[in-house]
Amino acid sequence: MKKNILLGLFSILLVAGCVNFLGPQQASVDTSNIVSMQPASVSVIPKPPVGTETEFTVTFEVKNQDKAKSVDVDINLFDWGVCGNPTISCAPRTDSRSKQCETLNLVPQQTELVEIKAETPSKEEIGGIAASCPIQWRAQYRFSTVSNAGFNAVSREKMKESQRANKPLEIPLGSSNVGTGPVKPFITFGTTENFVTAKSPIQLSVQVKDQGDGTFNSIVENSLSIIVPKEWYLAVADEDGDDKAREACTKKFYPVDAISELRSRANLKTVTFTNKDAIPLINRETPPQVCNFKAPDLDAENIPQKSYQVSAKLENYIYTLDGKQVVDVKP
Amino acid sequence: MRKIFFLAAILFVSGCTNISETIKAGLLTVDKSTEDILVHAELSQPQLKSGMSTNIKFTAENKQQFELKNFALNVFDLCDFTCTVSGSSTEAPQFSADTIRPNRTKDFQMNCKAPVVESERTCEIKFRSSYEGSLGQTHDIFVVTESEFATGRTKVSPLSTETKSPLKISVSWSDTQPFVENDDAILYLDYSYTGEGIIEKLRPGDVSFVFPKNLELEEGRCIDFVKSEIGENNYTLAKDLLFIAGKAKRSTCVFKTKASQPIDSGKLSLKAKFKYTLDGSLPVTVVPKKSI
């Protein structure tokens, strides 16, 4: 008997001790939804159906699920059906009674309670039969996201060296991260391997996809940036001319920095291409935005191989999330 | 019994707590080694935030009993870190030492500032070290007269010596020793190398040998080698020998044997120098600063 108790205790301790066994506990955050307003968090008091001419409260939680960035969320109430006197308040600023919350500034992982109050109609207003009030609200927030991808160039000499030595090229995988948030850029390279040899063309494409629960229709001008190593850009300029280099990401994008400045300033290591016009999302994604660059002549600089980082940044886009709770009214 | 259980449980609990670190603090070391040298690379902070600095230290240790020459270390991929060596900023840090004395080390250090990133970036800071190594070998050569051979009682034990080296030159002969006088003895030299690095090629003058007086070599009968002006019986490599898959083409020399006494012994000595290149990398992760 004693032995069994001890064994049980040992098992509990064993489990307790290993909560963190595989690293820090990652909350199962879906990074697609930075701001969550899950239906499960919505509650109505009193429990529907609610009697006529009765004040009721719909509450739900808004959470910033990001682990690094603060988010400003604006919530407004836009439909309450036959119910009346609607107000919304976002705790802890409970005194502000209107149809729009004060902007909620949520630091990473902060949760706030939003409260919507309204009154059910009178018996006469619903003609003495059961009715319902569709309480609808809209949350909007600005968010910025950045994705990046690693790529490598290998000198022809190093390539030859490795092939002669019959040793595989040690190409670092590099980091490829897809940004957080509902809308994010995806970067892909037009090669099967994650490297090219020196002086070879480098084709990359950036596609922005909406994977959230809300809506986002179009990327406004000057908000999507493709940031590439300046060496790739100057390799095109040196070989095919400055005009060709400026249109490396098609005519829809323009380089923010002047070529002369990039050439003269050693501390400038990247060049940024930004979209001139709005880019619409069709079926929740943009067409691939293709860029064509060239790997620099590493052999001339006596560099065996080099790793690069490409980023795609979508700044200050506005994401819209709609929430709804139907409150049944009994006469 | 109960005490043992409790102790085991507590030990287990305490053992679990440290496994879950996300930001690794402390040193990252990478060693690259051959028979000649140990190149030790140290990164103070393998994971750091945007804009923070870390130190990178390289140590080259000569493991041989002789000098290693022309050591060079070139950090060719900085992963966008900004590095300073002795206070001045450099795009491609290079370090060198004319010689590293036996069992001595040379240290090189730089301070590098992480680039600004907006999402986690993992990268490998890559470096290439090279040095000039050498190899020495001696091989006994026994030639017997025909009458001595006819006795059938002659037994010889030719000895060979060689220094440790990543370059390997295998010396073999067409016949087993002792050779009989006035016969052909064909020498084969097979080149290869070991280790993680690369020897690209052996250049003219990189390999030389001196053969003993009980051998004769006619001009043109030693492919790849020419007579050296330095001394008698001294031959030196005359062309590039390229290594493919760690091996270079075999060299062949046809000697004529001579014996001035019943058992004539001599020594063939061979020397080689080579440039050995070793690549290494230090993985590093840069995490963005929080934007709150």
Q: Is the bond preceding A46 in cis, omega lying within 30 degrees of 0?
A: yes
Neighbour-count burial for A151-169, b at 16+ CB within 10 Å, e otherwise: bbbbbebbbebbebbeeee
To test the contact with chain B by mutation, choose from A230, A269, A309 the residue with the greatest count of B C-beta atoms within 10 A, namely A309
Residue A195 reports pLDDT greater than 50: yes
Average pLDDT, chain A: 84
The Cα–Cα gap between A223 and A23 comes to 36
Please work out, in degrees rounded to the nearest 5, the angle formed at the alpha carbon of residue A189 by the alpha carbons of A186 and A192.
Answer: 125
For residue B118, give the nearest of A24, A146, A305 by CB distance.
A146
Q: What percent of chain B has pLDDT over 70?
A: 90
pLDDT on residue A11? 46
- Nearest CB neighbour to A13, from listed B9, B19, B124: B9
Q: What are A61-77's pLDDT values in tens digits?
A: 888 888 778 888 999 89
Q: How many other C-beta atoms are found inside a 10 Å radius of the C-beta of residue A214? A: 20
What local confidence, expressed as pLDDT, does residue B176 receive? 92
- Cβ proximity of A104 and A75 under 8 Å: yes
Q: Which of B76, B81, B241, B274 to mutate to test the interface with A (most CBs of A within 10 A)?
A: B76
The CA distance from A249 to the nearest CA of chain B, in Å, is 22
- Please indicate whether, in this complex, the C-beta atoms of B292 and A107 are within 8 angstroms of each other: yes
pLDDT of A4 over the 60 cut: no
For A214-231, what is the mean pLDDT? 95
User: Residue A1: which pLDDT band, with cuts at 50, 70 and 90?
Assistant: very low
Torsion angle of C-alpha atoms B31, A195, A293, A239, degrees rounded to 10 = 80
Cα–Cα distance, A154 to A304 (Å, whole number): 6
Among the partner residues A6, A70, A148, nearest to B121 by beta-carbon distance: A148
CA distance A32 to A12: 36
Distance CA B53, CA B45 (A): 8
pLDDT of residue A39: 56
Q: Which of A18, A23, A170 sits opposite B22 (nearest CB)?
A: A23
Residues of chain A positioned with their CB less than 8 A from the CB of B275: none
Question: Which chain B residues have a beta carbon less than 8 Å from that of A166?
Answer: 244-246
Give the B window 265-284 contacts with A, CB below 8 Å: 279, 281, 283
Say yes or no for a CB contact (<8 Å) between A23 and B198.
no
Residues 6+ apart with CB under 8 A from B144: B154, B156, B178, B179, B180, B181, B259, B262, B263, B264
pLDDT tier, A38 (very low <50, low <70, confident <90, very high otherwise) = low
pLDDT over 80 (residue A100):
no
A115, pLDDT greater than 80: yes
CA–CA min distance B47, chain A (Å): 13
If pLDDT is split at 50, 70 and 90, which confidence band does A13 have? very low
Kind plus residue range of the DSSP H or E element containing A237: helix A230-240
ipTM: 0.70
Residue ranges of chain B with pLDDT lower than 70?
1-25, 290-292
**pLDDT one-digit tens code per residue, A175-188:** 788 988 899 999 99
Does the beta carbon of B94 lie under 8 angstroms from any beta carbon of chain A?
Answer: no
Per-residue pLDDT at A172: 81
Q: Do B119 and A177 touch (CB under 8 A)?
A: yes
pLDDT higher at A210 or A111: A210
β-pairing, B68-77 vs B37-43, is unpaired
Smallest Cα–Cα separation from A132: which of A142, A118, A152, A146? A118
Q: Please answer yes or no on whether A170 and B281 come within 8 Å at the CB atom.
A: yes
Per-window interface: B 154-213 vs A, CB < 8 A: 198, 200
Question: What pLDDT is recorded for position A18?
Answer: 35
Task: Please give the average per-residue pLDDT across A153-175, as a whole number.
Answer: 87
Mean of pLDDT values over A182-199 = 93
* Cα dihedral value A158, A160, A166, A170, nearest 10: 30
Question: How far away is chain B from the Cα of A42, in angstroms, using its nearest Cα?
Answer: 28
Rounded CA-CA distance A18/A258 in Å is 56
What pLDDT score was predicted for residue A7?
47
Distance from CA of B188 to the nearest CA of A (A): 22
- How many alpha carbons fall within 13 Å on the CB side of residue A190? 14
Is the CB of A69 less than 8 angstroms away from the CB of B243? no
- Give the mean pLDDT of A120-148: 91
Q: From CA B131, how far away is CA B273, in angstroms rounded?
A: 10
